[in-house]
Structure 1
Amino acid sequence: NKSHSLVLQNKFLWDHKTTVRIILQPQHMEDVCGLCGNFNGNAKDDFTTQGNLPTTNIMEFVDSWKVSSNCPDAKPDFNPCFETPNRETWAKIQCSIIKDIKGPFKDCHNKVDQNPFYENCVKDSCACDTGGDCECFCTAVAAYAQACNEAGVCVNWRTPEICHSESSASFHKKKR
């Protein structure tokens, strides 16, 4: 069994908290595979097992990429709001900034579907119940802001009351 490898020049962006972004150069399109997908521009076929079989079963997908048979199987997806029902109301209120038709993201709604970002925000915000509660919320909202920015809509959503960050307060990237 031969081992194949490809050395890629890429960027790893880490917010020193909860998010890592991997950015590959366009010449590497369709040269990669794995947990981050195959980089062919079609997110619908990113769930492909290590055996190159498409799947809709997230557990099968994740487990196929284990590097060692000693690694335990991934745990089934669960809804943390069921585990911490007292957090669900708070999470839904906080995350409503994403869907608010009069809010800071209103210009992005027709460019990027807010529903999956809202659902992820609620789920992530429910899961962060051990201190740093706002960190997961802020990261989830920032993911939607990033998607909006990539769609050409620059959203200035951080305020002193909502996810204020010294490092990002003056950073505002707009695509031209």
Structure 2
Amino acid sequence: MPEQHRTLIADRRVQDDDWVLLEEGAERPAGTRVIVPLAAWREARGEDVAPLLTSDTELTPELAEELLDAPLIAIDFPKFTDGRGYSIARLLRERYGYGGQVRAVGDVLIDQLFYMSRCGFDAFSLREDQIVEDALHALDSFSLSYQPGTDTTEPLFRRRMRERQAG
């Protein structure tokens, strides 16, 4: 049985989710776009099938090359304390140049959204107990970030140094 639809925030706004996250071994409902485990995606590739990467996925160059054709990539957070998905997203964006949607699914909490967005996530499937308005505000928790990320490749101290030299 497919997982129930959750609230989707994509590109910093609430959107209808036309993808269904299927559990392992679940039968695909006719006419739906589905997110499936990596092995199932490899067998059924297409515009209406997307891979789900578990947090222990080893993102090899060969796998990354395969994933470049995926319409979206979902990364599972089995529990909010498991941060391995951050590294997977960052590698997909920075090292391998993936330009499609990178979606956080699973135990996604609003206090993590800002940091997830800095690592390359642009879509978030929120847990049922999360407040959407708070989640949208959480994406703008900080106006500046010291460290570089997928959104700003230059650290704050270098930006400030450049501004001083220009002014």
| Common fold by TM > 0.5 | no
Bigger relative contact order, structure 1 or 2, given CA contacts below 8 A and separation 6+?
2
Q: TM-score, normalised by structure 1?
A: 0.30
- Bigger radius of gyration among the two: 1
**Structure having the larger proportion of residues in strand:** 2
**Structure having the larger proportion of residues in helix:** 1
